Amino acid sequence: MKKPEEYQAKPDKTIKEHSLELLRELERIKNLGYIDNEKVYELTKKACWFHDFGKANAEFQNRVMSDKKIRMSLEREVYHNILSIFLIDPKAFDSQEDYYKVVQAVLFHHDYADPYEVLKDKKDLCKSLLKNFTCYPVKHSLQYKLNMWTEDDQVVLIKGLLHKCDYSASGGYVSEYPNDFLESGLDRLGYQWNDLQNFCIKNRNENIIAVAQTGMGKTEAGLLWIGNHKGYFVLPLRTSINAIYHRIVADQKKKIVTEKLDERVALLHSSSLSYYLGMMENSKTEMTGIDREDFDVEEYCNRGLKHSIPLNIATMDQLFDFVFKYQGYELKLTTLSYSKIVIDEIQMYDSDLLAYLVMGLKRICELGGKIAILTATLAPFVEDQLNKAIPGLIKQSFYDNTLRHNMLVKAEELSVSDIINQYENNKALEQGNKILVICNTVKKAQEIYEKLSEADTVSKDELFLLHSKFTRGDRAEKEAAIKDFGKTYDADDQTVDIQNGIWVSTSLVEASLDIDFDYLFTELQDLNSLLQRLGRCNRKGVKPTEVTNCFVYTVINENLFIMDNRGFIDRDIFNISKEALGNWNGPITEAEKLALINENLTTEKLKNSNYYQAYIEKCNWIATIKPYQLKQDDIKLRNILTAEIIPSPVFDAHREEILELAEKINHPQTNTKEKMALKEKLYAYSLSVESYHAKNYEKAKARGEATVYTPIQIGRFESIKVLECQYDDLLGFRKMDFQTIRKAEFF
């Protein structure tokens, strides 16, 4: 009689052959040093061996060996993951506990049905399907026994490794590529590492917090801490992520990865594939170590999504959804458990995202992962939460004595006349005249821009606006322009660059763009945000500070404060920040900036704030989640209430190009890679707006008050709405009169 492993797992592969493939991938992961628990390794080997034994049943064999495609009959057959546990001999284990740990992993390595319901209703069918094999008793108490082990550390790791090896073997891809390049790549830069970077090198095997002022090289510090190990660099904004990825693989002066790009560094966010395609099409950009003709960008993207690549630049929602414990979450958590995770700019997360992050980091560290918090500012209440979740964190702050900012706080609204006066004075004196204005909302930024454009003394070709309500194409051009304008030095990298110009923007520029202006005019949002904004002015500390170069305005629109479902600024945190700043008028050192944060954003002062209460509530809710209650498809870390649209003026101006792109996308002979490239071109005409704009437009259409535009179909299940609105490349998106604004547009 044939053994179960001698039957077919696939038409061209036996169960044994497939299981051996899993074991080879498991060995690969172990040889990279990612499995340090011998018990976990041995039990995972057993899980890999037994996981598909259930496929040996006659019904499955009839289907898999048939020339025709036969659908599974739920009346005659049982899912193989359930059948497999009948073929696991308890005596093959050192203890009953070990047996149950492997059974848990095997039973739940697929999510086809509720295994306990099937075992309850179809136990006789299970035995009948396996009558030609030696079966072992599956007791009625199995569910009770397994529930005891579902969240056990070893079970999570065994099941996670089983998933990783199974998906890799079935998909024909490598489970993990080695990180044997990062340290040498950093050494090739030839830099003299500073105190921050040496701290990260020294504490590579520790969980750390490093608070460092803007411009001290946190990116290099994070990469040095990761070293030659699997790592994730997590940032809050996609623009920041793209910038770091580009710096690692394509910056001609600072490039770290010089070959084997598709095995070394990955981009993990919702538009990764589009970004890759855009980079490859950009003739000015040299993607490193690839042959463009033979490079399979889809395969490259999939390797990143499968977490096979050793160095990953990611948004947190690509990683930390495992806190919801959906079926299969163990794969991601297990991968993170043998990884080193850098969290950059933690202060930019809202209360919900901070809760997901802290609770996720807690679990990662419990399973063996390492974390590094690298940030320009760290509120004491956040530090308290991190220390509570992750005991033994090593913290150090880094700042130099260079004076960068001379700050004036004004208890009034952002003043256009102040900006104009500074602009005119600088121009008359022929001194550095790069002025950055940061507003809390898109609407405010547009208002300030319009008022400045009405001033006779402000040259129209020296006034610019940047926010999130421009089309992707326009925004990309503006981001490139502000980065070029905002450089510190001239072409010789020694002379400070002197130019005239005013850029008006939003918090979009807080952390995502490496820019260095001479003067800053900003609304107050909170202390954390303010310090980020200050970092966009005199970034390198080589510009004059004898007179005020940063103006902070502490009177803002009351509608921006959180109230019911409106607003986004916490009133308590704003008031604490405003009071802390007082009537500051004079130089402010890096030490004084940190003191503002450390003395005011404490747990004691914030414990009654909306932000803190929402954070605690979310943490408590996460702690109550039971495994497999939630479906992965229903989970969203970010409460994203936006819609992708093409502004009607853009559509009217580019109708022919847009419709031609859509036609090519929908053509049956257009392959997937070509479709993605075409979609990238089409999305250059689009932007993201709050969902209520689209809803108001639909209502206006129904009332006959709006022009009807047909959505642009770009595939069977995807379309982009054309939204009637005001739009131009100077101001960006503005609502039509028929729309009702219910919530502030920000970022």
pLDDT digits (tens, 9 = 90+) for 418-474: 999 999 999 999 999 999 999 999 999 999 999 999 999 899 999 999 999 999 999
- 159 with 62, same domain? yes
**pLDDT of residue 167 exceeding 90:** yes
- 414 with 530, same domain? yes
| pLDDT digits 0-9 by tens, 223-270 | 999 999 999 999 988 888 988 998 899 887 888 998 899 999 999 998
- 393 with 442, same domain? no
Q: Give a yes or no: residue 622 inside a domain.
A: no
**What percent of the chain has a predicted confidence (pLDDT) above 90?**
77
| pLDDT digits 0-9 by tens, 491-549 | 777 899 999 999 999 998 987 688 999 999 999 999 999 999 999 999 989 999 999 99
**pLDDT of residue 640 exceeding 80:** no
Q: Give a yes or no: residue 632 inside a domain.
A: no
Check residue 283 and give its pLDDT: 46
Residue 543's domain is classified under what CATH number? 3.40.50.300
Q: Per-residue confidence at 742, pLDDT binned at 50, 70, 90?
A: very low
d(CA 176, CA 263): 9
Q: Per-residue confidence at 290, pLDDT binned at 50, 70, 90?
A: low
Domain count, the chain: 4
- 572 with 438, same domain? yes
Q: What integer best gives the mean pLDDT of the chain?
A: 92
Other C-beta atoms lying within 10 Å of the C-beta of residue 401: 8
Check residue 747 and give its pLDDT: 43
Q: Give a yes or no: residue 623 inside a domain.
A: no
- 186 with 161, same domain? no
Range of the domain at 13: 4-171
Q: Give a yes or no: residue 602 inside a domain.
A: no
**pLDDT of residue 292 exceeding 80:** no
Q: Give a yes or no: residue 120 inside a domain.
A: yes
Residue 162's domain is classified under what CATH number? 1.10.3210
Check residue 705 and give its pLDDT: 86
d(CA 246, CA 268): 13
Which residues, 6 or more positions from 282, have their beta carbon under 8 angstroms from its beta carbon?
Answer: none
Q: Give a yes or no: residue 631 inside a domain.
A: no
**pLDDT of residue 593 exceeding 90:** yes
- 160 with 201, same domain? no
Q: Give a yes or no: residue 57 inside a domain.
A: yes
- 212 with 258, same domain? yes
Query: What's the pTM?
Result: 0.92
Which residues, 6 or more positions from 305, have their beta carbon under 8 angstroms from its beta carbon?
Answer: 268, 272
- 420 with 485, same domain? yes
- Pairing state of beta strands 519-523 and 433-438? parallel
Apex 357 CA angle, 355 and 358, nearest 5: 70
- 384 with 410, same domain? no
- 263 with 145, same domain? no
Using the 3D structure, point to which of 119, 143, 171 is the last residue of a domain.
171
Q: Give a yes or no: residue 559 inside a domain.
A: yes
- Whether 548 and 541 have beta carbons less than 8 Å apart is answered as no
**pLDDT of residue 1 exceeding 80:** no
- 425 with 378, same domain? no
Using the 3D structure, point to which of 171, 197, 220 is the last residue of a domain.
171
Higher pLDDT, 390 or 736: 390
Using the 3D structure, point to which of 398, 420, 442 is the last residue of a domain.
398
- 575 with 684, same domain? no
**pLDDT of residue 285 exceeding 70:** no
Which residues, 6 or more positions from 578, have their beta carbon under 8 angstroms from its beta carbon?
Answer: 524, 554
